[in-house]
Structure 1
Amino acid sequence: MTVPGLQFRRARAEDLADIVALLADDPLGAQREQADVQGLAPYRAAFAQIEADPNQFLCVIEQAGRIAGTLQLSILPGLSRGGALRGQIEAVRVARDLRGAGIGRAAFDWAIAQCRARGCTLVQLTTDRSRADAHRFYEGLGFEASHLGYKLSLD
């Protein structure tokens, strides 16, 4: 599905407040993101690290001059799978009023094409167990729930 007028580009520092607002605009994000301007300092520091790393791409998706969505694409080198590169797609969000219009699918199509162009042999993502709608969406894109993940919070 092609969505007319979408542009994918590298995020700029001036996009940060809009990106954080997108990340905060769901039940899980509302609990863990700080979407006010005063709370942007840690995001600015993270943005600087992402921007300096050639294996990171923080993407904004624009439509009609507006940030319609975002995602972060990481290229991960590894020794497993014969020294293969893998793409990691994270922090995918589409503006609430634009959900269901095909922007999410277009974002994944774009990210997967970027992974192919960089020589990745695998694309992966993680998702919270509670996101049943997202799980159906990812499965519809061809992703398989193949692994069990664990996290250890260090804060």
Structure 2
Amino acid sequence: MNATSLKIRSAGRSDLTSLIDLYQHLSEGDEKPLLTVAEEIFEKFLTYQGSEIIVGEVAGQLVASCTLVVVPNLTRGGRPYGLLENVVTHRDFRNHGFGRQLLHYASDIALKADCYKVMLMTGSKKPETIQFYLGAGFEQSKIGFQMRRIPPRPDT
């Protein structure tokens, strides 16, 4: 299997069940939404201009995904910024370059939307996770803060 076998596209409604299963590779045992709730949330993505769930598939199986939201902005000359979240690659498909391809694809979409930056955060302190993002062209240049309603995922 090589990196060129990845097909990248926007997620569709028919991907929801597979996408929810793929998210278990972010944090095994994470609470799954009911399918009806997931369908409602997905509809919001379709109506929020600049938001998109991007998926990568190999032989018809979803193996990677990330969410891009282009956020309107009144600084930087009115240029928006891109926010990437829920970056995940199925455990069995890691280290093939799929995640990097997906991040580059999402970043290209954001830059074409005139975003002045594309950013993401990770809660992981694992050196291989940090190295993955650095290797994909992101720099570790800011300090992040958050308020949480639910506890962070364990760093697994």
Classify the TM-score, shorter chain.
0.7 to 0.9
- Residue type of the alignment partner of 2:30: R
Structure 1 residue 49: Cα displacement: 0.8
1:145 and 2:140 equivalent?
A: yes
Pick the aligned partner of 2:45 from 27, 31, 50: 50
Please name the residue that 1:7 is paired with: 7
Corresponding residue number in structure 2 for 1:99: 94
Displacement, 1:80? 2.0
What percentage of residue pairs aligned between the two structures are identical? 28
Letter in 2 for 1:9: R
Distance 1:102 1:129 in 2: 19
Structure 1 residue 57, shift from structure 2 partner: 0.7
Cα distance change on mapping 1:31 and 1:149 into 2, 3 Å: farther
Describe the superposition over 1:7-48 as per-residue Cα deviations: whole angstroms up to 9, x where unpaired. Answer: 22111122111111111124xx2253327xxx3333222111
Q: Which has the higher strand share?
A: 1
CA contact (8 A) 1:77 1:85 kept: yes
Structure 1: state its 5+ residue gaps.
Answer: none
Is 1:120 aligned to residue 118 of structure 2? no
Count of aligned positions: 149
User: How big is the shift at 1:129?
Assistant: 4.1
Q: Give, in whole Å, the separation in 1 of the partners of 2:56 and 2:128.
A: 21
- 1:30 equivalent in structure 2: 28
Structure 1 runs (4+) greater than 3 angstroms displaced: 129-132
Distance (whole Å) between structure 2 residues aligned to residue 90 and residue 153 of structure 1:
15
Deviations 1:85-117 (CA, angstroms, capped at 9, x unpaired):
211111111121110011011111111211222
Distance in 1 of aligned mates of 2:36 and 2:30: 15
Query: Letter of the aligned partner of 1:24 in structure 2?
Result: Q
- For 1:70 and 1:154, the matched residues in 2 are separated by 24
Q: TM-score, normalised by structure 1?
A: 0.84
Aligned: 1:80 with 2:75: yes
**Which residue does 1:20 correspond to in 2?**
20
Q: Is the 8 A contact 1:23 1:33 kept in 2?
A: no
Give the conservation status (yes or no) of the 8 Å contact 2:25–2:89: no
